[in-house]
Structure 1
Amino acid sequence: MRQSWWRIFLAAGLLLSSLARASADDGAIIDRWYSALLVADRTELSDLLADDVRMKLDDIGVVQSKEDFIASIDEWQGAVAGAAIRHRIEKSENGRTTVLACYDFPSNDTLMRETFTVAGGRIVASTQTAVAQDCSGY
């Protein structure tokens, strides 16, 4: 009986360890995402997105494919010039990470809640929702 408890404990420990590693990997992907977004790095952003990604922009009712998103980078590059993006992970579990992000543009700032689903080292889904018209709540 004692031996079976030990096996269960060991299996649970290994599972928790692998989940912690996956969350850390997801956090690294999210960090790379915001770094690439800030400089409008098309190559890095494209590498981070799964081919069948769906990016939902709740506030404007738009769902973008990978191609749609990459095509919008020219416009984004102008908007992000001189900006800063601060982000912090609020929660990460089961491949789903929720982030609070402050987009600090030269003329205004906005606070967003963004949820990323990561699988196989790539973002497979993203949802973005405005929280506030300034970052005072960050």
Structure 2
Amino acid sequence: MHRSWWRFFLAAALLASTIVRASADDGAIIDRWYSALLVADRTELSELLADNVRLNLDDIGVVQTKRDFIASIDEWQGAVAGAVIRHRIEKSENGETTVLACYDFPSNDTLMRETFTVAGGRIAASTQTAVAQDCSAY
């Protein structure tokens, strides 16, 4: 094999492994997010969010800052008591990870599509949109 082709192949392989590793790291951060969200772990959630994060709740027209979100945890803690949150990654590309999440509360469930941007090991942005009023499509 010609040397320049070999260098190109090696560079492409290194880039691919970096992208796969970044996607895996993003997936681990998102797994931690849902685990902390389920138990309303204010400390863990705060650590996972970038200081300048914007959390866009499309369906209710609200954009929360980190401070807004952390301030809402007491209310969320009551809502999430007895719930189950299931999630799966639909795709991860160009620094964005899209997740399908079933929020199964004791009295109802809802299916959400959530998109996360992870940078520097923290969630830098998130957009949440309702998909269905139940999780039958999960």
Name the CA distance, whole Å, in 2 between partners of 1:91 and 1:42: 27
Which sits farther off after the overlay, 35-44 or 89-98?
Answer: 89-98
In the alignment, does 2:93 pair up with 1:93? yes
1:107 matched to 2:115: no
User: Per-residue deviation at 1:94?
Assistant: 2.1
Amino acid at match of 1:88: R
User: Stretches of 4+ moved more than 4 A in 1?
Assistant: none
Structure 1: runs of 5+ lacking an equivalent? none
Q: How many residues align?
A: 138
How do 1:11-50 and structure 2 match up within 5 A?
Answer: 11-50=11-50
Alpha-carbon separation, structure 1, partners of 2:61 and 2:108: 22
Residues 72-125 of structure 1 deviation map (CA, whole Å, 9 limit, x = unaligned): 000000000000000000001122100000000000000000000000000000
* SS of corresponding position for 1:30: helix
**TM-score of the superposition, structure 1-length normalised?**
0.99
CA RMSD of superposed structures (Å): 0.7
Unaligned runs of 5+ in 2: none
Q: Secondary structure at the match of 2:123?
A: strand
User: So what's the TM-score if we normalise by structure 2?
Assistant: 0.99
